[in-house]
């Protein structure tokens, strides 16, 4: 039987939501072992003064196995 834990992280990218998700999982995997899944809870963007999208943000829930 595996024991799982869920944490919430925020990540951003100037390219896309997918890139923000990849960056968040990659960064978390440096300190968390056994990441099993990532759920994108929400997505948002920041907009600059010219009305252009500046960055993409994701709120992720990561589940990993407690060893």
Q: For the domain that residue 26 is a member of, what is the CATH number?
A: 3.30.1660.10
Domain that holds residue 47: 3-66
Q: What is the reported pLDDT for 16?
A: 97
The conformation of residue 45, written as its DSSP 8-state character, comes to E
pLDDT at residue 60 greater than cutoff 80: yes
Helices (H), the chain: 17-28
Q: Where residue 1 falls among pLDDT bands split at 50, 70, 90?
A: confident
Return the half-sphere exposure (C-beta side, CA atoms, 13 A cut-off) of residue 49: 0
Q: What is the reported pLDDT for 17?
A: 97
Structural domain tally of the chain? 1
Q: What is the reported pLDDT for 2?
A: 86
Q: 58, 59, 63, 62: which is closest to 19 by C-alpha?
A: 58
pLDDT at residue 13 greater than cutoff 80: yes
Q: What is the reported pLDDT for 26?
A: 97
> Model-level pTM greater than 0.85?
yes
């Amino acid at each position: 039987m595996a024991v799982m834990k869920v944490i919430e992280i925020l990540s951003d990218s100037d390219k896309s939501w997918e890139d923000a998700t990849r960056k968040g999982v990659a960064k978390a995997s440096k300190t968390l072992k056994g990441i099993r899944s990532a759920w994108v809870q929400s997505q948002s963007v920041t907009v600059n003064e010219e009305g252009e999208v500046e960055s993409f943000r994701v709120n992720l829930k990561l589940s990993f196995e407690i060893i």
